[in-house]
């Protein structure tokens, strides 16, 4: 089998030779390095490579070429080889090209930019190349499969398992029960369609229709608490919870995190975050949250997965969290970072199609299944914009439906520009969904124009709903003070708000993120008045730890 190709285009022979030498020395054993000085000739060669069945892993284009600028060349190369990674080569010290590079990355014309090698070896250059090669290999090379899921494509439970596998970054594959591979796996396991969905693990263990806790335990994930008193119990492993876990555990607090699903919360479903500090090429929410999880784990944070917190009580100076299986977690302090979920559409009966074409959230695991299909997104915030740009890589047409007049009212400017630059994304203002139709899966939507009051029926392969937010506080509203929308009230808002909290038991005022229960704090989207951004949640997680330290120090001074 021929080696995959790294293709470099640069009109300056000396520069091209330098790049070629660096690439050949480091990657020549596994990749063939091809070069060209003229963009038009390079496009012809790429077409021939495609037609001859060669794989091209990365295409590099010099930013400045008289025949064709590098960004334009890479855009045209993408039409020929849509699965190849693309990077712009930039001269060392060029500070005038930031706007061009930002536009290229934002509009999806390139995957990254790389400064041309200066030293030999140039490790900074190779670090960027290695990331691109890793991303390409993950998508196009056989990977170790920790689990294989066999199920019906439009089954809600099959979707939940696929989504969990994707969000947790578990290497694996989904096989339709009717596919040859699916039939073979069922036959080998001596199971039938009545047992679906079926999970086959790397060690040949077979689970028939497992619940989340059973699956987590089977792959070695902890689902039960230890019988000890923690310094800090965190409920929810979104950005705020993971941030607090990293800061708390790294500063010596014995920390436990309770998470019913996957690390990352809503942030973990974001396909690409362009404006998070420290990631100039952007990073997916899933990758960002998985790195945060690994960081917290490294500092010896204890995690309990697939268990939901259902109760919170206090016994003296100890806070007790009751889990859905009846077990309890005891801690000297608690952080509530349970996040929010998207609002449900008020359409009777549509719940039966959730996972069968109807999705709440981005559902990253379903993106590739939308290839050459028409999909709809309900929402006008950043999450909706990120979902639209990601789905546009696969779908024939993406339509954003919104009740308001303009995306500018609720979406970041960089996302609005990116959407405007993608021709097969359509934005339809003043539209609401009034019905969802389909027997076993979504088939059609009924849309209402809020200006004309006219209904319209459209065919749809999928609808992704990303509107509003409902806090996960149904289990807390009788325990901690919440506002009318069930968001948790903290800090000075407890004293200054309406109505004021008269039963605050301490002489001091509540700490900045403290709830109506001393020693219980809240951070992230679930908190009243919070700025619903990933960076804001991360910041609140770190602030919460300062408050926890202050509270615990205060408790040590209290006479026994």
Q: Is the dihedral of CA 112, 100, 38, 73 positive or negative?
A: positive
Output the CA angle 434-413-421, nearest 5 degrees. Answer: 80
Each residue of 401-435: pLDDT tens digit? 999 999 999 999 989 999 998 999 999 999 999 99
Structure tokens at 533: 């951004």
pLDDT confidence of residue 500 = 62
Q: Is the dihedral of CA 400, 404, 410, 414 positive or negative?
A: positive
pLDDT confidence of residue 363 = 83
State how far the Cα of 463 lies from the Cα of 400, in Å rounded to an integer. 10
Nearest Cα to Cα of residue 225 among 290, 303, 293 = 303
Instruction: Provide CB contacts within 8 A for 71, sequence distance 6+.
Output: 61, 63, 88, 100, 103, 104, 109, 110
Residues in the chain: 560
Instruction: Provide CB contacts within 8 A for 127, sequence distance 6+.
Output: none
Complete DSSP assignment for 369-391: GGTT-EEEEE--SHHHHHHHHHH
Secondary structure (3-state) at 239: helix
Secondary structure (3-state) at 431: strand
Each residue of 517-528: pLDDT tens digit? 999 999 999 999
State how far the Cα of 182 lies from the Cα of 475, in Å rounded to an integer. 40
The answer to whether 342 and 467 are in contact (CB under 8 A) is: yes
The answer to whether 7 and 58 are in contact (CB under 8 A) is: yes
Q: Is the dihedral of CA 125, 100, 78, 413 positive or negative?
A: positive
State how far the Cα of 268 lies from the Cα of 263, in Å rounded to an integer. 7
Each residue of 177-234: pLDDT tens digit? 999 999 999 999 999 999 999 999 999 999 999 999 999 999 999 999 999 999 999 9
Buried b (16+ CB within 10 A) or exposed e, 256-270: bbbbbbbbbbbbbbb
Angle, helices 123-140 vs 13-27, to 10°: value is 60
Structure tokens at 511: 């700490």
State how far the Cα of 36 lies from the Cα of 332, in Å rounded to an integer. 65
67 has pLDDT over 80: yes
Secondary structure (3-state) at 399: strand
Secondary structure (3-state) at 192: coil
State how far the Cα of 524 lies from the Cα of 514, in Å rounded to an integer. 13
Structure tokens at 177: 């029960």
| CATH number for the domain running over 229-341+471-556 | 3.50.50.60
State how far the Cα of 427 lies from the Cα of 418, in Å rounded to an integer. 12
66 has pLDDT over 70: yes
- Domain regions of the chain by residue span: 5-140, 147-219, 229-341+471-556, 351-465
Helix ranges, 189-304 (H): 212-218, 239-250, 285-298
What is the rounded average pLDDT of the residues 308-322? 97
Work out the pLDDT band at 378, boundaries 50, 70, 90. very high
State how far the Cα of 291 lies from the Cα of 303, in Å rounded to an integer. 15
pLDDT confidence of residue 182 = 96
State the DSSP code for 209: S
108 has pLDDT over 90: no
State how far the Cα of 73 lies from the Cα of 169, in Å rounded to an integer. 33
Structure tokens at 397: 């047409």
What is the rounded average pLDDT of the residues 291-304? 97
Domain 147-219 part of CATH 3.40.50: no
499 has pLDDT over 60: no
Question: Do the two domains 147-219 and 351-465 of this chain adopt the same fold?
Answer: no
The answer to whether 253 and 545 are in contact (CB under 8 A) is: yes
559 has pLDDT over 80: no
pLDDT confidence of residue 140 = 84
pLDDT confidence of residue 557 = 78
End-to-end C-alpha distance for the chain, whole angstroms: 74
Structure tokens at 73: 């060349």
Structure tokens at 274: 């362009």
Nearest Cα to Cα of residue 468 among 446, 482, 487, 488 = 487
Instruction: Provide CB contacts within 8 A for 445, sequence distance 6+.
Output: 376, 433, 435, 436, 437, 457, 458, 460, 463
What is the rounded average pLDDT of the residues 532-560? 91
Provide the percentage of residues in the chain whose pLDDT is more than 70: 98
Each residue of 122-153: pLDDT tens digit? 999 999 999 999 999 988 877 789 999 999 99
Q: Say if pTM beats, i.e. exceeds, 0.85.
A: yes
Work out the pLDDT band at 91, boundaries 50, 70, 90. very high
Structure tokens at 80: 């020929």
pLDDT confidence of residue 119 = 87
State how far the Cα of 235 lies from the Cα of 264, in Å rounded to an integer. 12
Secondary structure (3-state) at 336: strand
State how far the Cα of 406 lies from the Cα of 413, in Å rounded to an integer. 12
560 has pLDDT over 60: no
| CATH number for the domain running over 351-465 | 3.50.50.60
Domain 5-140 part of CATH 3.20.20.370: no
Helix ranges, 28-169 (H): 39-51, 70-80, 98-106, 123-140, 156-167
Where would I find the beta strands (DSSP E) of 324-423?
328-331, 334-336, 340-341, 358-360, 374-378, 397-401
State how far the Cα of 540 lies from the Cα of 527, in Å rounded to an integer. 10
247 has pLDDT over 90: yes
Whole-angstrom Cα Rg for the chain? 26
Each residue of 445-454: pLDDT tens digit? 999 999 999 9
């Amino acid at each position: 089998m021929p080696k995959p190709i790294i293709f470099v285009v640069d009109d300056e022979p000396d520069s091209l030779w330098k790049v070629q030498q660096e690439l050949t020395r480091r990657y020549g054993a596994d990749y063939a390095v091809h070069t060209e000085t003229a963009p038009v000739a390079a496009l012809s060669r790429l077409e021939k490579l495609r037609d001859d069945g060669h794989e091209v892993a990365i295409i590099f284009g010099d930013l400045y070429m008289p025949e064709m600028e590098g960004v334009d060349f890479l855009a045209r190369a993408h039409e020929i080889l849509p699965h190849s990674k693309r990077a712009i080569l930039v001269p060392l010290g060029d500070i005038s090209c930031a706007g061009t590079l930002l536009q290229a990355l934002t509009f999806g014309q390139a995957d990254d930019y790389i400064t041309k090698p200066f030293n030999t070896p140039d490790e900074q250059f190779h670090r960027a190349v290695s990331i691109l090669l890793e991303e390409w290999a993950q998508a196009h090379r056989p990977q170790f499969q920790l689990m294989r899921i066999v199920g019906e494509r439009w089954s809600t439970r099959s979707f939940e398992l696929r989504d969990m596998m994707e969000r947790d970054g578990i290497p694996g594959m989904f096989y339709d029960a009717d596919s040859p591979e699916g039939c073979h796996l069922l036959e080998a396991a001596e199971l039938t369609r009545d047992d679906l969905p079926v999970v086959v693990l790397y060690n040949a263990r077979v689970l028939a229709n497992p619940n989340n806790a059973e699956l987590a335990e089977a792959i070695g994930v902890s689902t039960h608490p230890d019988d000890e008193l923690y310094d800090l119990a965190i409920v929810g492993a979104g950005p705020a919870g993971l941030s607090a876990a990293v800061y708390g555990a790294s500063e010596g607090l014995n920390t436990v995190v309770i998470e019913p699903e996957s690390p990352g919360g809503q942030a973990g479903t974001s396909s690409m975050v362009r404006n998070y500090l420290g990631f100039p090429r952007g990073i997916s929410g899933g990758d960002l949250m998985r790195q945060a999880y690994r960081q917290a784990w490294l500092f010896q944070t204890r995690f309990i997965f697939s268990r939901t917190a259902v109760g919170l009580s206090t016994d003296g100076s100890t806070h007790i969290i009751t889990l859905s299986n009846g077990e309890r977690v005891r801690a000297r302090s608690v952080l509530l970072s349970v996040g929010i979920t998207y609002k449900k559409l008020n359409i009777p009966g549509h719940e039966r199609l959730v996972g069968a074409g109807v999705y709440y959230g981005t559902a990253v695991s379903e993106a590739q299944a939308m290839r050459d299909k028409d999909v709809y997104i309900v929402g006008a915030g950043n999450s909706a914009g990120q979902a639209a740009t990601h789905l546009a890589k696969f779908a024939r047409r993406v339509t954003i439906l919104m009740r308001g007049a303009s995306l500018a009212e609720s979406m970041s400017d960089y996302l609005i520009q990116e959407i405007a630059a993608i021709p097969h994304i359509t934005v339809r203002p003043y539209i609401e969904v009034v019905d969802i139709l389909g027997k076993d899966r979504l088939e059609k939507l009924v849309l209402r124009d809020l200006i004309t009051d006219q209904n319209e029926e459209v065919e749809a392969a999928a609808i992704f709903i990303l509107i509003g937010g409902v806090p996960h506080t149904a289990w807390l509203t009788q325990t901690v003070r919440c506002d009318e929308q069930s968001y948790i009230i903290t800090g000075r808002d407890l004293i200054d708000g309406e109505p004021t909290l008269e039963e605050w038991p301490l002489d001091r005022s509540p700490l900045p993120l403290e709830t109506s229960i001393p020693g219980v704090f809240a951070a992230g989207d679930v908190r009243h008045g919070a700025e619903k951004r990933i960076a804001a949640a991360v910041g609140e997680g770190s602030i919460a730890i300062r408050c926890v330290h202050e509270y615990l120090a205060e408790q040590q001074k209290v006479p026994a």
